[in-house]
């Protein structure tokens, strides 16, 4: 019987099958706290499997200090919090949950965009604060999206799903990838490939869907923001550190761009205080995959991978390393 340590509580009932054959310990950090390496090492001591989230720093130190560890099952698509080279060196299998959250995250990107474009949070505050006394001709004017251009940075599964939704809103779609997308995807999304500089300068909405790596860290910096239209909206449902938040605050304060809609942040759960002061910014607490259907399926994928690894199966589903 193996010992599986789960670093956060998951949807109810998701671990039932795993508990039948293995010992499962579910941990919960203090409210709002991210674990340190030392805390993660203490949790993983003697464990065969760690079921982790993006906030867990699964580093070389963790692998070296936990020689019994056979597997890290990541409850996310992204794996930038895991040292994959160290995992391979220590013969630890790493899995994740690709594909499952595509539609949920694409829907969230659009929810954020519509909220920013039509100033929904400000309108909600206006009504709740008792200011709605009569209909006004110039109250909280937003912007329409039809016939505008959406620029997608990262036309992968999620980026393509966002692009398909843009067609339904009558938008033109351009995109930028490090390598050009499959022609079939381009046809399905009616997306035109352009260089990043052109995307930034011509798009009315810039939506980020790229992975976080050394090339994409602060990809949207002061220079990139300076290329964007004054009336453009920036949407980020990818990774917080793709955007230089300090530079974004400066651009918003100067009116260099019209607004932003963010589901992720550089130093989660901390948010740059300057973003809190901007009434043209919509903020969400990393809800991209937060539907009951998606979060349940993510647990099932993790459990499927864990059971395969612990049973000695040659093929381990959803394997990254």
At residue 238, the 3 state secondary structure works out as: coil
Q: For residues 4 and 23, is the Cβ–Cβ distance under 8 A?
A: yes
Sequence-distant (6+) residues with CB within 8 A of 300 are 14
- Does residue 239 carry a catalytic annotation? yes
Cis, bond preceding 41 (omega within 30 deg of 0) = no
User: Exactly one of 17, 268, 280, 300 is catalytic; which is it?
Assistant: 268
- Does residue 119 carry a catalytic annotation? no
Read off the tokens for 145. 């999206």
Sequence-distant (6+) residues with CB within 8 A of 160 are 181, 185, 188, 189, 191
At residue 257, the 3 state secondary structure works out as: coil
Q: Around Cβ 279, how many Cβ atoms within 10 Å?
A: 12
Q: Around Cβ 263, how many Cβ atoms within 10 Å?
A: 23
User: Exactly one of 90, 286, 300, 319 is catalytic; which is it?
Assistant: 286
| Relative orientation angle of helices 120-128 and 102-117, to the nearest 10 degrees | 60
Q: For residues 225 and 199, is the Cβ–Cβ distance under 8 A?
A: no
- Does residue 37 carry a catalytic annotation? no
Strand pairing partners for 82?
A: 58
- Chain centroid to Cα 198, Å, comes to 24
CA distance 84 to 74: 12
Read off the tokens for 284. 């969400």
User: Exactly one of 96, 157, 176, 239 is catalytic; which is it?
Assistant: 239
Provide the annotated active-site residues.
Answer: 239, 268, 286
């Amino acid at each position: 019987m193996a010992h599986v340590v789960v670093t956060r509580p998951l949807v109810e009932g998701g671990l039932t099958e795993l508990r039948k054959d293995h010992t499962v310990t579910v941990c919960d950090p203090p409210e709002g706290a991210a674990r340190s390496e030392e805390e993660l090492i203490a949790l993983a001591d003697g464990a065969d499997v760690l079921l982790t989230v993006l906030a867990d720093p699964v580093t070389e130190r963790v692998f070296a200090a936990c020689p019994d560890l056979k597997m890290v099952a990541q409850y996310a698509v992204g794996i930038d919090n895991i040292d994959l080279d160290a995992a391979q060196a220590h013969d630890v299998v790493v899995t994740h949950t690709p594909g499952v959250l595509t539609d949920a995250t694409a829907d969230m990107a659009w929810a954020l965009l519509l909220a920013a474009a039509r100033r929904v949070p400000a309108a909600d505050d206006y009504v709740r604060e008792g200011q709605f006394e009569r209909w006004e001709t110039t109250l909280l004017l937003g912007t329409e999206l039809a016939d505008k251009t959406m620029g997608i940075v990262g036309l992968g599964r999620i980026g393509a799903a966002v692009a398909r939704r843009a067609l339904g809103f009558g938008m033109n779609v351009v995109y930028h990838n490090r390598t050009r997308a499959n022609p079939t995807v381009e046809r399905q999304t009616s997306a035109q490939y352009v260089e990043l500089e052109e995307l930034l300068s011509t798009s009315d909405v810039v939506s980020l869907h790229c992975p976080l790596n050394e090339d994409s860290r602060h990809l949207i910096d002061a220079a990139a923001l300076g290329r964007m239209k004054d009336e453009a909206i920036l949407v980020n449902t990818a990774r917080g550190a793709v955007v230089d938040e300090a530079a974004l605050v400066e651009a918003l304060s100067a009116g260099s761009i019209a607004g932003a809609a963010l589901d992720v942040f550089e130093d989660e759960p901390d948010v740059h205080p300057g973003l809190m002061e901007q009434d043209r910014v919509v903020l969400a607490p990393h809800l991209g995959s937060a539907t009951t259907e998606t979060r349940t399926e993510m647990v099932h994928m993790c459990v499927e991978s864990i059971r395969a690894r612990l049973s000695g199966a040659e093929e381990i589903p959803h394997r990254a390393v």
